[in-house]
Amino acid sequence: MSKEIMSQAGQRTDAMLKRNGLSITDSRKKILQLFLEQTGALAHGDIERKAAEKFDRVTVYRTLQTFVDKGIIHTIPTADNSIRYALCKDECSEGHHHDHHVHFVCTTCHITYCLDDVVTPELKLPKGYTPDHIEVVAEGTCKNCK
Amino acid sequence: MSKEIMSQAGQRTDAMLKRNGLSITDSRKKILQLFLEQTGALAHGDIERKAAEKFDRVTVYRTLQTFVDKGIIHTIPTADNSIRYALCKDECSEGHHHDHHVHFVCTTCHITYCLDDVVTPELKLPKGYTPDHIEVVAEGTCKNCK
DNA sequence: GTAACTGCAAAATATTTGCATCCTT
DNA sequence: AAGGATGCAAATATTTTGCAGTTAC
């Protein structure tokens, strides 16, 4: 690929990919770049749309899966059955995500935010239930839409 | 349909349907019955399986949607992109669910529980974010699998 | 050069829609 | 009888898989 175009932006994506032992390819760089430029989370469909019909749908599926496996992005389940993906703020180790922050879905603009500073609260569960991970998703109106 | 078969079980399902202004039909009664007999939540696929190939796939989709709309069941989003449905404990008014309880997904037996007694905690969100609804899903090992 | 990644085709799944028929009220 | 619910067929949409060609290292 053209080396000039990706000059600056490429630095960061390359480093992230390399750090995770992934080979540096066009599609991975571009998809990762989308996440870096993005405020909120991205759904599969958003990526296909934003990428301006650049690469195959299958590549997007595989790339997202790879990123999740490596702990570069994490998934955010929402009620409308459309999984969103967002960058993990701190690097997550492979196969082990530990972003214990809260997610916020704006019902007006439909942006999904990672509220990195809001830590998931402690929960008192009934005897016998041992949680490994707690997911909190708040739904409402974001600061730009109120 | 045969009046005898549904004698006892039918009482409760009939009442629930009637209370929500729904006509009482075979498939609605049977699907509702599945939820009443069930510990955890059910995914669309579970229902088709449990119902012993009784009714059309499309009917299941439509029935679940109707129940959600009426506030008879609520959805539980999970990370694996498969929405589960569970009975609303207290009746939810139409179009307005207010079960503020926590959900627990067992990673061993894959049962999804509604922990009706665990109330979703208060959250301190950044200025400007106004939540309407907060969803908490804990993942781990349930009391039967530990 | 080799292993890994991509794109294409196609299969497998999942979901939605239209319409004729049947059932509930 | 009338409106709503169901079942079937089919259209859409989504996700997965196999494989051959291409690319990164």
Q: Report yes or no on B31 lying in a domain.
A: yes
Q: Are A100 and A55 in contact (CB under 8 A)?
A: no
> Domain total for chain A?
1
Q: Report yes or no on B146 lying in a domain.
A: no
**Dist. CA A98–CA B47, nearest whole Å:** 33
Taking CA–CA distances from B105, the nearest residue in chain A reads: A131
Nucleotides of C under 7 A from a protein CB: 4-10, 14-18, 23-25
Residues from chain B contacting residue A75 (CB–CB below 8 Å): 79
Q: In terms of residue numbers, what domain contains B51?
A: 3-140
Q: Report yes or no on A50 lying in a domain.
A: yes
Q: Report yes or no on A145 lying in a domain.
A: no
Pairing type for strands B130-141 and B101-106 reads parallel
Report chain B residues touching chain A, CB-CB < 8 A: 75, 77-79, 81, 83, 102, 104, 107, 113, 115, 117-118, 121-144, 146
The CATH number of residue A15's host domain is 1.10.10.10
Q: Closest Cα to residue B132, out of A141, A77, A146, A41?
A: A141
Q: Could A78 and B81 be called an inter-chain contact, meaning their C-beta atoms sit closer than 8 Å? A: no
Q: What is the DSSP string of A48-83?
A: HHHTTS-S-HHHHHHHHHHHHHHTSEEEE--TTS--
Q: Report yes or no on A65 lying in a domain.
A: yes
Strand C at less than 7 A from CB of A120: no
pLDDT in tens, chain B (146 residues): 444 444 566 789 999 999 999 999 999 999 999 999 998 899 999 999 888 667 899 999 999 999 999 999 999 988 777 889 999 876 555 555 566 789 999 999 989 999 988 888 888 999 999 999 899 999 999 999 98
Q: Report yes or no on A17 lying in a domain.
A: yes
**How many helices (H) and strands (E) in chain B?**
4, 6
Residues A26-37 pLDDT 10s: 999 999 999 999
Q: Report yes or no on A41 lying in a domain.
A: yes
Q: Report yes or no on A146 lying in a domain.
A: no
